Amino acid sequence: MDFSYTILIPLIPLAVFLLLGINYKSIKPSVSGWIGSLGLFATLVLSYYTAYQYFFVVGKVGDIYQTFTEQWRWMSFTETLYIDMGVMIDQISVMMLVVVSTISFMVHLYSRGYMKGDPGYTKFFAFLSLFTFSMMGLVLAVNLFQIYIFWELVGVSSFLLIGYYYTKPSAVAAAKKAFIVTRFADLGFLIGILIIGYYGGSYDFATLNDLEGNVITNWASTSFMGLSVITWGLLLIFIGGAGKSAMFPLHIWLPDAMEGPTPVSALIHAATMVVAGVYLVARLFPLYYFVEDGYALNVVAWVGAFSALFAAIIALTQNDIKRVLAFSTMSQIGYMMLALGVSGYYGHDGLGYMASMFHLFTHAMFKGLLFLGAGSIIHAIHSNYLQDMGGLRKYMPITHITFLIAALSIAGFPGFAGFFSKDEILVAAYEHNKLIYVIGVVVAGLTAFYMFRLYFGIFWGKDTKYEHTPHESPVSMTFPLVFLAIMSAVAGYIHFSEYVTVDHQPFEAHLNYPLAAIAVGVGLLGIILAFIFYKKPSGLPEKVAASFGSLYQWAFDKFYFDELYLFVTKEIIFKRISAPFAWFDRHIVDGTMNLIGNSTVSGSEKIKKIQTGRVQDYAFAFIAGAVVLAMIFIYKWII
């Protein structure tokens, strides 16, 4: 089977981006929305066709899923050092194709309603296409360098879209923050790539992940500070992944990134780009698992578990609905990371890996839906804040129902998509590490609580008097909501373990009823608490918040991490390190150059009077010179 046509999957959005981006002044908004959506539709069809071909027709030979790569030499430095570009078709990349194209298409449809009348409408669609191109390229990458290039491209598109309302200072600051924090993390990624490339001898995923290959069999050959260099490389790569996936402590950009338009938050900061870190770890999973007995993988697990808990606690206290969703995203990505971290490799041991990918899939559906629902609400009442909402179920029935489905799904209510994926993550964690399992269960409860706090706060709660009566959003916005709601309800019934596994062989995964019962019980407890607290306006939340005292304030202020970062950058790096460097640069380096320049200027100022412009002065100088020369000659050779 020839999969080289999949190169079109990223290239179509690129073409759309160029078309819209170059002609963005001359294309009418109504047309550009259609062009963007149609381009994405073509990508969607190709992705689904690829998925069908791979999973049901040619992918499985015997009992093993094959990997197909098509690559072309891009930069050739020497015989052994070269960089290829290409497409890699295997289980996770095909799954990601489906996720990205589905969510991106839904967001395109949704944006046609949401962004209506915006002056930068065409530009917005151009950026969306650029993002889709980059994300598809990232997913299909065949080697570390290709993934790095597209990694930076998604960073740029994220920057452009967060800063889309560039007249708003907060949006500009958020865009810069997101870009700088992820760039900083990407420095680790780049160094990691170079280390792996240098000691592993290859950038290709196929070579690196080969179980009999040089890296996995030979990782112990060089060590540095008590760890294998390969482990260091993997840890550095994970820093890049953690930056993009907003893992603690590089999470600070994600909440601020909510300054972008809501469809962007749904596409980039919920469903696709932020899971790139998870995808990266999954891509290199054999390395993480086999090198140094999974040392790096343990780090992944603990960072994931801690981020999940940390973000869930902050999410309890926030009042901006998009920020709650942002912290929820961070928490759920932490879940995926911890699932990867507790995974084994062969057969049923690979449950964590499978569960992580499964959760990535279902999370994309329900979190995309939650953001789009939030966008629909914001569209209707022009506020992000929970205090301004309440009783909206009467005005927005479709948004209400779809939001409820998404909330039930993320809370792990039995039968919805989130229930299945979360259950498998918890089973994997339980089999591997009890402490991580307990954290997972606690986070499940917190998740249910804060989601239903949102749900009850928005759609029930107090009867807010609105200036304009809120109305349901247009069909272009409700259709994606309904579609994603259906996906959130039924995606869990896909037998993921038959499609996405770490050792490429399907296995049977069953529900673990006792563990599922515990998770569901905790989730229900969260929902019931939220019901008691927020169904009717009551003084309870304030009382409970007060009883937590300063802890509540800490969580409300996101544990002061923004302030900590500001302190470190401003007070320590800028004042103590950069300022002396700047002084040195301005006074010593520039001073030397200025001295040379100034002395040349003043010197020439003094001697320029020699040039009188009179022919006879020049002639005199010439003759005098000739006479002097003649005298020298006479003195030396004749006398």
Partner 1 sequence: MIQGISIYEILTLTSIIFFIGIYGFLTRKNLITMLLSIELILNASAINFVVINTYLYPDVLQGVFFSVFIVAIAAAETALAVAIVINLYKLITSVEVEDTETMKY
Closest separation in Å from C-beta 611 to partner 1: 5
Q: Which stretch binds partner 1 (CB under 8 A): 17-25, 128-136, 571-579, 605-613?
A: 605-613
> Which among 109-117, 260-268, 515-523, 606-614 is the span making contact with partner 1, rule CB under 8 A?
606-614
Sole window of 144-152, 207-215, 341-349, 614-622 interacting with partner 1 (rule: CB under 8 A): 614-622
| 210-218, 303-311, 315-323, 619-627 -> range binding partner 1 (CB under 8 A) | 619-627
Q: Among 19-27, 39-47, 67-75, 608-616, which window interacts with partner 1 (CB under 8 A)?
A: 608-616
Only segment of 202-210, 423-431, 570-578, 611-619 that touches partner 1 (CB under 8 A):
611-619
Residue 227's region, left for phi above 0, alpha for psi from -120 to 50, else beta, is beta
Indicate the residue among 510 and 608 with the shorter CB distance to partner 1: 608
602 sits near partner 1 (criterion: CB under 8 A): no
- Closer of 550 and 612 to partner 1 (Cβ): 612
Local structure of 16: helix, strand or coil:
helix
Question: Which of 72/622 has CB closer to partner 1?
Answer: 622
Nearest to 370 by CA among 262, 490, 252, 257: 262
Q: 25 or 609, CB closer to partner 1? A: 609
Is 435 an interacting residue with respect to partner 1 (CB under 8 A)? no
Cβ 599 to partner 1, closest distance in Å? 19
The CA-CA-CA angle for residues 368, 373, 378, to 5°, reads 125
- Find the shortest distance in angstroms from Cβ 601 to partner 1: 14
What are the tokens at 234? 């993997």
- 557-576 positions binding partner 1, by CB under 8 A: none
The single-letter code of the amino acid at 77 is: F
Q: Which of 78, 80, 550, 612 binds partner 1 (CB under 8 A)?
A: 612
Q: What is the rounded CA–CA span in Å between residue 119 and residue 90?
A: 41
CA distances from 617 to 396, 454, 629 (A): 95, 92, 18
Q: Is 620 in the site for partner 1 (CB under 8 A)?
A: yes
- Whole-number minimum distance, CB 614 to partner 1, in Å? 5
Other Cβ atoms within 10 Å of 172 Cβ, number: 15
**Stretch touching partner 1 by CB under 8 A, among 31-39, 273-281, 531-539, 613-621:** 613-621
Q: How far, rounded to the nearest angstrom, does the alpha carbon of residue 18 sit from its chain's CA centroid? A: 23
**Min. distance of Cβ 638 from partner 1 in angstroms?**
16
317 in helix, strand or coil? helix
Q: Which is nearer to partner 1, 57 or 607 (CB)?
A: 607
Residue (of 460, 462, 448) closest to 406 by Cα position: 448
523: exposed, middle or buried (Cβ count in 10 Å: 0-12, 13-18, 19+): buried
Nearer to partner 1, 26 or 612 (CB): 612
Of 59-67, 223-231, 341-349, 612-620, the segment contacting partner 1 by CB under 8 A is 612-620
Task: Pull the structure tokens for residue 238.
Answer: 């994970």
**Which of 180, 623, 628, 632 is in the footprint of partner 1 by CB under 8 A?**
623
Cα three-residue angle 366-367-368, rounded to 5 degrees: 90
Closest contact distance (angstroms) between CB of 615 and partner 1 is: 6
Encode 443-501 in three state secondary structure: HHHHHHHHHHHHHHHHHCCCCCCCCCCCCCCCHHHHHHHHHHHHHHHHHHHCCHHHCCC
CA 313, 318, 322, 323 torsion-angle sign: negative
Estimate to the nearest angstrom the gap between the alpha carbon of 215 and the chain centroid.
28
Residues 200-259 that bind partner 1 (CB under 8 A): none
Minimum distance, C-beta of residue 609 to partner 1, in the bound complex (Å): 8
- Point out which residues pair with 83 in neighbouring strands: 75
Of residues 61 and 615, the one with the C-beta less far from partner 1: 615
CA gap 366, 407 in Å, rounded: 8
Helices of type H across 284-396: 285-290, 295-317, 321-341, 351-381
606 binds partner 1 per the rule CB under 8 A? no
- Rounded Cα distance between 441 and 279, Å, is 24
- Rounded to a whole number of angstroms, the minimum distance from the CB of residue 625 to partner 1 is 13
| Tokens found for residue 163 | 């800063």
* Cα dihedral 218, 74, 18, 2 in deg (nearest 10): -80
Q: Is 607 in the site for partner 1 (CB under 8 A)?
A: no
Q: Which stretch binds partner 1 (CB under 8 A): 282-290, 403-411, 424-432, 604-612?
A: 604-612
In the bound state with partner 1, the residue whose beta carbon lies nearer, of 577 and 634, is: 634
Q: Minimum distance between the CB of residue 83 and partner 1, rounded to whole angstroms?
A: 57
Do 195 and 233 touch, CB atoms closer than 8 A? yes
611 counts as binding partner 1 under rule CB under 8 A: yes
Smallest distance, partner 1 to C-beta of residue 628, A:
15
Among 608, 635, 636, 639, binds partner 1 (CB under 8 A): 608
In this structure, which amino acid lies at residue 423? D
Tell me which H or E stretch contains 99: helix 91-114
Residues 353-412 that bind partner 1 (CB under 8 A): none
Stretch of residues binding partner 1 (CB under 8 A), selected from 109-117, 151-159, 274-282, 610-618? 610-618
List the one residue from 619, 630, 631, 634 that touches partner 1 (CB under 8 A).
619
Is residue 616 a contact point for partner 1 (CB under 8 A)? yes
Number of residues located near partner 1, criterion CB under 8 A: 10
| Per-residue exposure over 311-327, b if at least 16 CB sit within 10 Å of its own CB, e if not | bbbbbbbbebbbbbbbb
Name which position in 225, 615, 638, 639 contacts partner 1 (CB under 8 A): 615
Helical H runs in 201-245?
A: 205-208, 214-217, 229-244
Q: In whole angstroms, how close is the CB of 636 to partner 1 at the nearest point?
A: 22
Residue type present at position 493: Y
Nearer to partner 1, 528 or 626 (CB): 626
Nearer to partner 1, 22 or 628 (CB): 628
The distance of closest approach from Cβ of residue 604 to partner 1 in the complex, given in angstroms and rounded to an integer, is 10
Nearer to partner 1, 490 or 623 (CB): 623
Identify which of residues 517 and 628 has a Cβ nearer to partner 1 in the complex: 628
Write out the two tokens for 412. Answer: 């792990």
Where on the chain is the footprint of partner 1 (CB under 8 A)? 608, 611-616, 619-620, 623
